[in-house]
Amino acid sequence: MSIIVTLEHTVEEVDKILLALAERPFKEVSDLINKIRGQGMAQVRAAQSPPPGTEAAPAPQAEPEPAPASEAAGG
């Protein structure tokens, strides 16, 4: 059984960690880099999206204006 450890870092700190990992041979760190990037990107997207229920309502559709009476009568 693996123990899950949760760490909290700023985006800048995670970038530094990824840069440090990039110095290692790719074969050694590629899975770890992909896991960090995947989790980080998901969290950044979630932080940038509005909370549920706060999305702006779509603008109401304007109804077409009725034709003037002279055009409606044919002329």
> pLDDT tens digits, residue range 7-36?
999 999 999 999 999 999 999 999 999 999
- Please check the confidence at residue 72 and state whether its pLDDT lies above 60: no
Residue 62 lies in a domain: no
Residues 6+ apart with CB under 8 A from 29: 21, 22
Q: State whether residue 65 is helix, strand or coil.
A: coil
- Contact indicator for 18, 36 with CB cutoff of 8 Å: yes
Closest C-alpha to 39, from 3, 2, 6: 6
Confidence of residue 55 (pLDDT cuts 50, 70, 90): low
Q: Span 44-71, mean pLDDT?
A: 74
Q: What confidence score (pLDDT) does residue 56 get?
A: 62
* Total number of domains constituting the chain: 1
Task: State which residues form the domain around 7.
Answer: 1-49
Query: Which whole number is the average pLDDT over 45-49?
Result: 91
Regarding pTM above 0.85, the answer is: no
Q: Is residue 16 part of a domain?
A: yes
58 belongs to a structural domain = no
Q: Is residue 4 part of a domain?
A: yes
